[in-house]
């Protein structure tokens, strides 16, 4: 596979840490020190599908293809206002594509899972261009009275177009069932037949410290594994494009691979954790700021609820 286009879109509403101080027992100093986040973008008047379609159109334009040339759409999404149909179906109509679509829900690791599916589809089917759209509104999943979780997240969409090529040097995805670390349950429609008790957690329940430890230990394992699969060392990687969750998680991973800070681009200070949109949106930022050079080796790594994890090594040749 080869990435030939990137795109992203973010809500217009900027929510700074000091704005959170107005209704939460928190402080800019605490949030910046513990997470590295200064502000995030949160949906106010936009619809997530509008952000997703904008990111998709930007990626197609950047790739130099039209909607008719998209052969398959993979949409990574955890929640949106539609329970059904899948967000990919909505995006297909909005951008004017006619190809099949598939939604996946692998939490923050969704982009790596989508790349893995795209690689397999490109290898086994007669497809040319696959559009991956990661569109997430985690801010809508939070309990905004819970200071330990709502401060972390922001909404965004990121997209890439991939085609056949040999830029993907190694990829690995895993799932380790650890539901208690991070989950949300909601009540479904009642029926005349339901007798069991159902729970609505009214937002995400997260054990931050467990997630932190799982994130670091699984990412380290994934990175080690994909480096071995590709026959490379940590020094051979030009940029580590990691899931943007917490600057301290990125720092812990950086210490493990023992590489310079300059190899770890980040934008979580401005956008917070945007779930599966974080890596494709960061790639788009880097690409549009001319910070990615042809031939550079990128290592992508993510983790999320599940616990899902994944990493890959990708040569940049756009």
Taking CB under 6 A as the criterion, the residue among 6, 275, 301, 309 binding ligand ACO is 275
Please, which residue, 51 or 216, has the CB nearer to ligand ACO?
Answer: 216
Q: Which residues of 35-70 are buried (b: 16+ CB within 10 A; e: fewer)?
A: bbbbbbbbbeebebbbbbbbbbbbbbebbebebebb
- Reading the block at residue 252, the tokens are 């812990």
Stretch that binds ligand ACO, among 4-12, 88-96, 206-214, 233-241 (CB under 6 A): 206-214
Taking CB under 6 A as the criterion, the residue among 34, 140, 221, 318 binding ligand ACO is 34
Stretch that binds ligand ACO, among 54-62, 110-118, 146-154, 219-227 (CB under 6 A): 146-154
In the complex, what is the shortest distance from the CB of residue 148 to ligand ACO, in angstroms, rounded to a whole number? 4
Residue whose C-alpha is closest to residue 234's, from 301, 291, 168, 279: 301
Taking CB under 6 A as the criterion, the residue among 56, 106, 108, 142 binding ligand ACO is 108
How many Å apart are CA 189 and CA 187, to the nearest integer? 7
Please, which residue, 218 or 259, has the CB nearer to ligand ACO?
Answer: 218
- Reading the block at residue 228, the tokens are 């071995």
Taking CB under 6 A as the criterion, the residue among 2, 13, 38, 147 binding ligand ACO is 147
In the complex, what is the shortest distance from the CB of residue 266 to ligand ACO, in angstroms, rounded to a whole number? 14
Taking CB under 6 A as the criterion, the residue among 148, 174, 217, 267 binding ligand ACO is 148
Provide the phi-psi class of 136: left if phi over 0, else alpha when psi is between -120 and 50, else beta: beta
Please, which residue, 227 or 245, has the CB nearer to ligand ACO?
Answer: 245
- Is residue 267 annotated as a catalytic residue, yes or no? no
- Total of residues contacting ligand ACO (CB under 6 A): 24
Q: Please compute, for residue 213, the number of CA atoms within 13 A of its CA located in the half-sphere on the CB side.
A: 6
17 binds ligand ACO (CB under 6 A): no
Taking CB under 6 A as the criterion, the residue among 13, 14, 21, 26 binding ligand ACO is 26
Residue whose C-alpha is closest to residue 90's, from 128, 133, 127: 133
279 binds ligand ACO (CB under 6 A): no
Q: Which entry of 108, 134, 150, 312 is annotated as an active-site residue?
A: 108
Stretch that binds ligand ACO, among 119-127, 167-175, 203-211, 293-301 (CB under 6 A): 203-211
Taking CB under 6 A as the criterion, which residues in 180-199 touch ligand ACO?
182
List of residues contacting ligand ACO (CB under 6 A): 26, 30-31, 34-35, 107-108, 147-148, 151-152, 182, 206, 208-209, 211-212, 215, 245-246, 273, 275, 304-305
């Amino acid at each position: 596979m080869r990435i030939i286009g990137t795109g992203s879109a973010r809500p217009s509403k900027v929510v700074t840490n000091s704005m959170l101080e107005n209704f939460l027992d928190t402080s800019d100093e605490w949030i910046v020190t513990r997470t590295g986040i200064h502000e995030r973008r949160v949906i106010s008047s936009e619809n997530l599908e509008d952000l997703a379609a904008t990111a998709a159109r930007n990626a197609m334009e950047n790739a130099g293809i039209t909607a008719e040339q998209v052969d398959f759409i993979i949409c990574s999404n955890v929640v949106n206002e539609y329970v059904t149909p899948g967000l990919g179906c909505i995006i297909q109509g909005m951008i004017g594509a006619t190809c099949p679509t598939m939604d996946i829900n692998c939490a923050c690791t969704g982009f790596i899972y989508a790349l893995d599916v795209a690689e397999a589809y490109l290898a086994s089917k007669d497809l040319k261009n696959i559009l991956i759209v990661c569109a997430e509104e985690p801010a809508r999943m939070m309990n905004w009275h819970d200071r330990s979780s709502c401060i972390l997240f922001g909404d965004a969409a990121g997209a890439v177009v991939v085609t056949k090529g040999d830029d993907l040097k190694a990829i690995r995805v895993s799932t380790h069932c650890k539901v208690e670390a991070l989950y949300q349950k909601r009540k479904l429609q009642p029926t005349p037949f339901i007798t069991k008790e159902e729970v609505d957690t009214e937002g995400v329940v997260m054990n931050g410290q467990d997630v932190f430890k799982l994130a670091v230990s699984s990412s380290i394992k994934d990175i080690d594994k994909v480096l071995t699969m590709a026959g490379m060392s940590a020094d051979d990687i030009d940029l580590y494009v990691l899931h943007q969750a917490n600057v301290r998680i990125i720092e812990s991973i950086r210490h493990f691979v023992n590489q310079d800070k300059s190899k770890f681009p980040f934008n979580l200070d401005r956008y917070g954790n945007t779930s599966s949109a974080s890596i494709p949106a960061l790639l788009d930022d880097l690409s549009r700021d001319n910070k990615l050079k042809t031939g550079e080796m990128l290592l992508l790594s993510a983790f999320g609820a599940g616990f899902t994890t994944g990493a890959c090594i990708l040569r940049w040749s756009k």
